[in-house]
Amino acid sequence: MQAAPDVPMPSSGGAVVIGGRPEGYMRRRELAFGLALVAPALLLVAGIFLYPAVFTLTLSVTEFDMVRLQIGAFVGFDNYARLFANPGFVDAIWRTIYFGLLIALAATVFGFLIALLLDQQFVGRTTLRVVVVLPWAVPPVVAGVLWGQMFHADVGFMNALLYRLGVIDQYQIWLGDGLTALHVIAIAEIWKAIPFMVLFFLAGLQSIPHQLFEAAAVDGATVWQRFRYVLLPLMVPIAIPLVLIQFVWAMKAFDTIFVLTRGGPAGSTTTLNYFVYQEAFQAFDLGRAAAAAYVLLLVTLFVVQIMSLVRHYLAMRRWSTA
C-alpha cells in the first residue's frame, strides 16, 4: 500500500503542521534554500554593479591621489560645486537632454514608419527585413567611421549628393560647425537605434487582429481614421517604453562622439557621458569625473520620471475619454 501524502493538520495550539513540522519552519527552510540558489547571482550582481556604484559615489565626495592611487581627503560636495561652476558642464547637461530626446523620438517615429512598411505584403519583404536589422550588427566604432566618411568635407558622399542635386553650391565642412556636427552624430545614433525599434513595432503590429481594421472599414472609417483611432492607440503602450529605453541608451552615447568629433568643435558635441571621459582620462580628475557620472544618472532619472508621468497622464486621459 502507498503511504498517505502529508496533509496539513492543525496542532493543538492552532498552528498548521506539515509532515510533523510547523508550517513556519517549512517556509523558512524553503526561503533559505531559495536564497542559497540565488546567492551566486546576487554576488555577481553586487560585484559588477553595486561595488562600482558605491566606489564611484565615494570618489565623487573625496579627492583621489593619482600618484599613490588611493582615496584622499573627504571634500563633501566640492566636486559637484566645481562642476556646476563650469559653464561648459551646464551646457553639456542641456545638450545631453536635447541629444537624448532627439534620438529617442526620431528613432521611434522612423522605426514605426518602417515597421508599417514591413508589415505590408510585397515582393522582397523578407530581404528588406534583413537589411533593416543590419545596422544593429555593425560595431559602434565602425559605424562612426562609416558616417565620418559619408560626411567628409572633401570626399564625402553627402556633399557629392547634395551638390549634384543643387541643394548646396559648395562642399560643406559638416563636422566643423558645432550645431551641424551634433546632428550628424544624432543621425548616426538614430541609424543604429532604428532596428531595435522596428523589431518591437513590427511584433506589435503583427499581434493586432485584422478584424479591427475590417470592422472600422465596414463602419465607413477612412484610412486616416483607421490609423488615427484604431492603430495609434494600440501602439502607444509599445511606443512609450521604447522611447524611455532609447533615451537612456542615447544618454550613454560615447563611441560615435569619440570617433567623429571627440567632443569638438570647441566642446559643442560634448555630452555628459563624454565629459566624464574627459575629466577621468584627460584631466585625470577622478573626483569630478565621478561627480559628473552621478549628475548624468540623476538627469537621466529625472527626465525618465517626467516621461513616465506623461505616459500616466496619457493613459488616464485615454481611459477617461473611452
Tell me: the pLDDT tens digits for 266-319?
899 999 999 999 999 998 999 999 999 999 999 999 999 998 888 888 777 767
Q: Are 15 and 117 found together in one domain?
A: no
Split at pLDDT 50, 70, 90, the class of 66 is confident
Q: Among candidates 287, 299, 179, 306, which has minimal Cα distance to 240?
A: 306
* Residue with more model confidence, 17 or 203: 203
Phi then psi for residue 64, to 5 deg, are: -110, 125
Residue with cell 523558512: 28
Q: Are 283 and 153 found together in one domain?
A: yes
Q: Are 116 and 218 found together in one domain?
A: yes
The domain in which residue 48 lies consists of 9-60
Split at pLDDT 50, 70, 90, the class of 322 is low
Extract the C-alpha cell encoding 95.
Answer: 545638450
Dihedral Cα 283, 286, 291, 294, nearest 10 deg: 110
Q: Are 37 and 130 found together in one domain?
A: no
Q: Are 166 and 273 found together in one domain?
A: yes
Q: What is the CATH number of the domain that holds 307?
A: 1.10.3720.10
Residue with cell 573625496: 62
Q: Worst-scoring range by mean pLDDT, 159-168, 186-195, 261-270, 303-312?
A: 303-312
Examine the pLDDT at 1 and tell me if it is beyond 50.
no
Q: Are 43 and 95 found together in one domain?
A: no
pLDDT tens-place string over residues 216-226 = 988 888 989 99
Q: Are 45 and 98 found together in one domain?
A: no
Query: What distance in Å separates the CA atoms of residue 84 and residue 32, rounded to the nearest whole number?
Result: 48
Examine the pLDDT at 3 and tell me if it is beyond 80.
no
67 within a domain of the structure (yes/no)? no
110 within a domain of the structure (yes/no)? yes
313 within a domain of the structure (yes/no)? yes
The mean pLDDT of the chain is: 88
Q: Are 35 and 183 found together in one domain?
A: no
Contact 287, 59 (CB under 8 A): yes
Examine the pLDDT at 136 and tell me if it is beyond 80.
yes
Considering its fold, how many domains does the chain have in total? 2
279 within a domain of the structure (yes/no)? yes
Query: What distance in Å separates the CA atoms of residue 130 and residue 4, rounded to the nearest whole number?
Result: 59
Helices 51-60 and 286-321 pack at an angle, to 10 degrees, of 120
Q: pTM to 2 decimals?
A: 0.85
- Radius of gyration from C-alpha coordinates of the chain: 27
Q: Are 128 and 248 found together in one domain?
A: yes
290 within a domain of the structure (yes/no)? yes
Query: What distance in Å separates the CA atoms of residue 152 and residue 173, rounded to the nearest whole number?
Result: 7
CA distances (Å), origin 194, targets 132, 137, 199, 207, 292: 8, 12, 9, 20, 29
Q: Worst-scoring range by mean pLDDT, 4-13, 57-66, 234-243, 245-254?
A: 4-13
Extract the C-alpha cell encoding 300.
Answer: 537621466
Q: Are 136 and 40 found together in one domain?
A: no
Extract the C-alpha cell encoding 70.
Answer: 588611493
Q: Are 23 and 103 found together in one domain?
A: no
76 within a domain of the structure (yes/no)? no
Split at pLDDT 50, 70, 90, the class of 237 is confident
84 within a domain of the structure (yes/no)? no
DSSP 6-54: P--EE-TTS-EEETTEEHHHHHHHHHHHHHHHHHHHHHHHIIIIIHHHH
Contact 191, 142 (CB under 8 A): no
65 within a domain of the structure (yes/no)? no
Q: Are 55 and 100 found together in one domain?
A: no
Examine the pLDDT at 89 and tell me if it is beyond 70.
yes
